[in-house]
Amino acid sequence: MGRVSTLAAQLWWTAADEAELDLLVHEFVKTAFRHREACAICRAGGPWCRPLSEAFEVVLDWRAGRVLRSKADWLRARQEAAGRSVAATRGGLF
């Protein structure tokens, strides 16, 4: 599965994040193909039916949440590392 270049290039987007997103997208696509075979609305080739559209929104919401969590975790780790560095420089006075 191809990488989302805008995320993969970010320092805070980890290989684990990418693997989770790959899995979620894979499962969505697999399910969407199965669904399409049984859904007259989706088979017609127009806009997706409401249930499929809602399922896709779940994938997008998960991705947005993962981006925020991963970025926050990465920034927190940087902040803590900087604090440890300052403490070490000052002889551990913190």
Is 42 part of a structural domain of the chain?
yes
Is 94 a member of any domain? no
Report the distance separating Cα 24 and Cα 62, nearest Å.
9
Checking if the pLDDT of 2 tops 80, the result is: no
**Of 89, 70, 66, 90, nearest in space to 78 by CA:** 70
Instruction: Examine the pLDDT at 92 and tell me if it is beyond 70.
Output: no
pLDDT at 8: 77
Query: Where does residue 92 fall: left (phi above 0), alpha (psi -120 to 50 degrees), or beta otherwise?
Result: left
What's the number of domains the chain is made of?
1
Query: Is residue 32 a part of any domain in this protein?
Result: yes
**pLDDT band with cut points at 50, 70 and 90 for residue 60:** very high
Flag whether 79 is in a domain.
yes
64 part of a folded domain: yes
Domain that holds residue 38: 5-89
**Which three-class secondary structure state does DSSP give residue 9?**
coil
- Separation of alpha carbons 60 and 66, rounded Å: 10
Q: Which residues of 44-57 are buried (b: 16+ CB within 10 A; e: fewer)?
A: eeeebbeebeebee
What integer pLDDT is reported at residue 49 of this predicted model? 97
Task: Please report whether residue 21 resides in a domain.
Answer: yes
CA end-to-end span of the chain: 47
- Percent of the chain beyond pLDDT 90? 62
In this structure, is residue 44 part of a structural domain?
yes
Whether pTM > 0.75 for this model: the answer is no
